[in-house]
Amino acid sequence: MSNSIESTLVETRVFPPPEGFVKQANISGRAAYQALLTQADDDPDAFWGQMAREHLHWTRPFTQVLDESNAPFYRWFGDGELNVSANCLEANIERGLGDKEALIFEADNGDVTRVTYQALYEKVCQIANGFKQMGYQAGDRVIIYLPMSVEAVAVMQACARLGLIHSVVFGGFSSKALQERIIDVGATLVVTADEQVRGGKNLPLKSAVDEAIAMGGCEAVKHVVVYKRTGGNVIWHEKRDIWLQDLMKDQATSCAPVAVNAEHPLFILYTSGSTGKPKGVQHSSGGYLLWAKLTMQWTFDAKPDDVFWCTADVGWVTGHTYITYGPLAAGMTQIVFEGVPTYPNAGRFWQMIERHKVTVFYTAPTAIRSLIKAAETNAQFHPKSFDLTSLRLLGSVGEPINPEAWMWYHINVGGERCPVVDTWWQTETGGHMLTPLPGVTPLKPGSCTTRLPGIAAAIVDETGADVAAGNGGFLVIKRPWPSMIRNIWGDPERFKKSYFPEELRGYYLAGDGAQCDADDCFWIMGRIDDVLNVSGHRLGTMEVESALVSHELVAEAAVVGRPDATTGEAVVAFVVLKGATPEGEQATLIAKQLRDWVAKEIGPIAKPKEIRFGDNLPKTRSGKIMRRLLRVVAKGEAVTQDVSTLENPAILDQLTKAV
Ligand code: WT7
């Protein structure tokens, strides 16, 4: 376990929730929180049943809340039926919000498009009717490889309307990664765009789909629907490809939602694990949507006149839950942003908050840290140069937020009046698990604080026994919850082994090390497996290793994380070539070749920040690579551990010098 960002600041102050905030909060004051917590702990079935009846529209009411008969394959609201898209669109139109803005889209170049709930409904229906006409039916899998856009949200919603199972692939992933996901999920339809626009540049997307399909194994794909974003050049496959705009043109603007079982998979989203192959995390319809909506109300204190902005991409779970589903289920107005935080300059986020009068802002520590640097070197990009008084609540997600970044965010962006909710959760959890409630929880910079009502989070040892307050251990969730992962697509054995190891008494194992203090506040210490967190993105070391060894020059590779002041962790690769170990300019050249190779195999986010070449890797006599030592070397620290069990201790010297 490693704490990725080493803090120089130890902030021990506690920030109580501002009185003004408490007064108006959806959950206001400790007693209200405690009551929900107790209610959920004492009778989970009654609690979740009541929440699901109150917050969702069911076309067929459920009679059973939780079915544990086939644990850990839990079923929630298992005989109920609903439609997720109708819960996000019709439900709001019927309560008079048709003319309310659902999405305010700001393009990379600053152009703004406003879409009301009624207009979004019509767009979603036209797309759904198009898909239906092409013959797609509930249960079919759709790969979505789209840039941040109104269309991305609408296509996901259109899938939900028909019961099609979407699997969004982040636009930064390579054609190889795309091909693997198309095959694993068995997609018959792919939706993409001609190009994406980021930071003033047009980047191809459609050509990556063409490449992925040409690699083979994707024969099941019948159509590629292409959203024309830029009008850039594309190669067209007459029988297979169709423009999204053409598909929608003559379609009716209403489309009956298909009622699905609460357990019907809403989506599959791939995430990295500790082995080479990414896992297809399968989520449900009913339980997932319930938690997406509830956490909007609890964590983000959703109010009718809020302008919500989550800066994530819909390629990640944050964009699923807190862009496509949660804010719409809660009837909010939200910003959808196409671009990057540093274009045209590092003031972009603050300028957009001012322009759109954003009230609730949700971003990642890595973005904050990179903007701190820019703001502290150029006052023009400092949040203080903008009017950010519309803000009332700030959120953080994806990695531990170091106290320096927390304090800067709190003071300079939040003007010391906005609570900061540091939300801990995962692709697998579907929504927030540990987080402050802004009208309840005293904030401790660096801690994601307390568990949400209904979430039985705890710290245990390797036998599943509780550890005392203040001691480190495994973060587990002892009872199932509605938005939990249902399966790993096509691999139920891996699902059981990864998340419900027998020795942990059937608890959900999150994969994070953590501790819980005497105030029931959780402190995340880092992953316990070979998973890195680079800029809030999960990356398996084995995944990067597999990519490296698939290069013709490489004999062996070991990948570790190193703390990085901006990205949290950085990828460092130790590589043994088949030929002689390169030095000087040759080493630089091959390192560049290998970095580009990894970008091609996985995507630019997986590129090693540093590659060190050696004649060998430090191994035990039984041949196990000593990653623990490599982590020390990667940090640039001296190895003080006992290395007498190593087969080849001299290799450490070589790797230490090989910078
Ligand atoms: C891993 C999950 C949550 C959606 C985005 C990432 C780390 C996430 C926090 C936080 C400390 C955090 C954990 C977790 N993580 N949020 N607030 N404090 N660590 O989802 O890609 O599935 O990654 O991100 O290590 O296990 P993900």
pLDDT digits (tens, 9 = 90+) for 161-190: 999 999 999 999 999 999 999 999 999 999
CA angle 512, 145, 313 (to 5 degrees): 50
> How far apart, in whole angstroms, are the C-alpha atoms of residue 316 and residue 173?
12
Q: Does residue 72 have a cis bond before it (omega within 30 degrees)? A: yes
Distance in Å, CA 602 to ligand 1 centroid: 20
Q: Please tell me the predicted confidence (pLDDT) of residue 4.
A: 45
pLDDT digits (tens, 9 = 90+) for 313-334: 999 999 999 999 999 999 999 9
Q: Which of 397, 429, 525 to mutate to test the pocket of ligand 1 (most atoms within 8 A of CB)?
A: 397
Q: Please tell me the predicted confidence (pLDDT) of residue 289.
A: 99
pLDDT digits (tens, 9 = 90+) for 12-58: 889 999 999 999 999 999 999 999 999 999 999 999 999 999 999 99
- Closest approach atom of ligand 1 to CA 312: 5
Q: Tokens standing for 373?
A: 């640097």
Distance in Å, CA 627 to ligand 1 centroid: 22
Query: For 215-223, what is the mean pLDDT?
Result: 98
Query: For 232-261, what is the mean pLDDT?
Result: 97
Distance in Å, CA 425 to ligand 1 centroid: 5
Distance in Å, CA 366 to ligand 1 centroid: 12
569 lines ligand 1 (CB under 6 A): no
Residue whose entry in the numeric block shows the structure tokens 């802002």: 361
Return the closest-CA partner of residue 548 out of 509, 595, 583, 584: 595
> How far apart, in whole angstroms, are the C-alpha atoms of residue 528 and residue 538?
13
Distance in Å, CA 426 to ligand 1 centroid: 5
4 lines ligand 1 (CB under 6 A): no
477 lines ligand 1 (CB under 6 A): no
Q: Please tell me the predicted confidence (pLDDT) of residue 645.
A: 81
Distance in Å, CA 145 to ligand 1 centroid: 23
CA angle 623, 628, 631 (to 5 degrees): 120
Long-range CB contacts for residues 487-493, cutoff 8 Å, separation at least 24: 487/73, 487/282, 488/279, 488/280, 488/281, 488/282, 489/184, 489/185, 489/268, 489/279, 489/280, 489/281, 489/282, 490/184, 490/280, 491/279, 491/280, 492/73
- Closest approach atom of ligand 1 to CA 425: 3
191 and 158 Cβ atoms separated by less than 8 Å: no
- Closest approach atom of ligand 1 to CA 434: 17
> How far apart, in whole angstroms, are the C-alpha atoms of residue 392 and residue 418?
5
Return the closest-CA partner of residue 187 out of 238, 139, 226, 248: 139
524 lines ligand 1 (CB under 6 A): yes
| DSSP summary character for residue 590 | H
Q: pLDDT-based confidence at 8, cuts 50/70/90? A: low
Q: Which of 533, 537, 539, 567 to mutate to test the pocket of ligand 1 (most atoms within 8 A of CB)?
A: 533
Measured by CA distance, the residue closest to atom 27 of ligand 1 is 426
Q: Which of 325, 424, 451 to mutate to test the pocket of ligand 1 (most atoms within 8 A of CB)?
A: 424
Measured by CA distance, the residue closest to atom 5 of ligand 1 is 398
Q: Please tell me the predicted confidence (pLDDT) of residue 532.
A: 94
Q: pLDDT-based confidence at 1, cuts 50/70/90? A: very low
423 lines ligand 1 (CB under 6 A): yes
26 and 439 Cβ atoms separated by less than 8 Å: yes
| pLDDT score of 429 more than 70 | yes
400 lines ligand 1 (CB under 6 A): yes
Measured by CA distance, the residue closest to atom 7 of ligand 1 is 399
Distance in Å, CA 536 to ligand 1 centroid: 7
Q: Please tell me the predicted confidence (pLDDT) of residue 83.
A: 99
| pLDDT score of 559 more than 70 | yes
Distance in Å, CA 619 to ligand 1 centroid: 31
- Closest approach atom of ligand 1 to CA 435: 17
535 lines ligand 1 (CB under 6 A): no
Distance in Å, CA 432 to ligand 1 centroid: 10
Quote the distance between the C-alpha of residue 592 and its chain's center: 29
Looking at the DSSP assignment, which residues form a beta bridge with residue 193? 227
Measured by CA distance, the residue closest to atom 23 of ligand 1 is 426
Q: What are phi and psi of 487, to 5 degrees?
A: -170, 165
Q: What amino acid is encoded at 124 in this protein?
A: V
| pLDDT score of 10 more than 80 | no
Q: Please tell me the predicted confidence (pLDDT) of residue 624.
A: 86
- Closest approach atom of ligand 1 to CA 396: 17
Share of the chain above pLDDT 90, in %: 92
Distance in Å, CA 185 to ligand 1 centroid: 24
Q: Please tell me the predicted confidence (pLDDT) of residue 6.
A: 52
Distance in Å, CA 74 to ligand 1 centroid: 23
**What pairing do the DSSP bridges indicate for beta strands 141-145 and 260-261?**
unpaired
> How far apart, in whole angstroms, are the C-alpha atoms of residue 471 and residue 184?
40
Measured by CA distance, the residue closest to atom 8 of ligand 1 is 398
Measured by CA distance, the residue closest to atom 2 of ligand 1 is 426
Return the closest-CA partner of residue 205 out of 222, 182, 230, 238: 230
Q: Please tell me the predicted confidence (pLDDT) of residue 2.
A: 42
Mean pLDDT, the chain, integer: 95
Measured by CA distance, the residue closest to atom 21 of ligand 1 is 538
Return the closest-CA partner of residue 486 out of 508, 503, 470, 464: 508
**What pairing do the DSSP bridges indicate for beta strands 223-227 and 189-193?**
parallel
**pTM for this prediction:** 0.95
| DSSP summary character for residue 3 | -
pLDDT digits (tens, 9 = 90+) for 514-533: 999 999 999 999 899 889 99
397 lines ligand 1 (CB under 6 A): yes
> How far apart, in whole angstroms, are the C-alpha atoms of residue 559 and residue 540?
9
| pLDDT score of 7 more than 70 | no
284 and 48 Cβ atoms separated by less than 8 Å: no
Task: Name the 3-class secondary structure at 345.
Answer: coil
pLDDT digits (tens, 9 = 90+) for 73-118: 999 999 999 999 999 999 999 999 999 999 999 999 999 999 999 9
> How far apart, in whole angstroms, are the C-alpha atoms of residue 542 and residue 275?
6
Measured by CA distance, the residue closest to atom 11 of ligand 1 is 400
Half-sphere exposure of 419 (CA within 13 A, CB side): 26
Q: Tokens standing for 30?
A: 């400790």
427 lines ligand 1 (CB under 6 A): yes
Q: Tokens standing for 128?
A: 């759904």
Distance in Å, CA 133 to ligand 1 centroid: 39
Query: Per residue, what are the HEC states of 91-144?
Result: HHHHHHHCCCEEEEEECCCCCEEEEEHHHHHHHHHHHHHHHHHCCCCCCCEEEE
Distance in Å, CA 464 to ligand 1 centroid: 22
Share of the chain above pLDDT 70, in %: 98
| DSSP summary character for residue 330 | T
Query: Where is pLDDT greater, at 141 or 656?
Result: 141
Query: Per residue, what are the HEC states of 171-216?
Result: CCCCHHHHHHHHHHHCCCEEEEECEEEECCEEEECHHHHHHHHHCC
Q: Does residue 344 have a cis bond before it (omega within 30 degrees)? A: yes
Distance in Å, CA 651 to ligand 1 centroid: 34
317 lines ligand 1 (CB under 6 A): yes
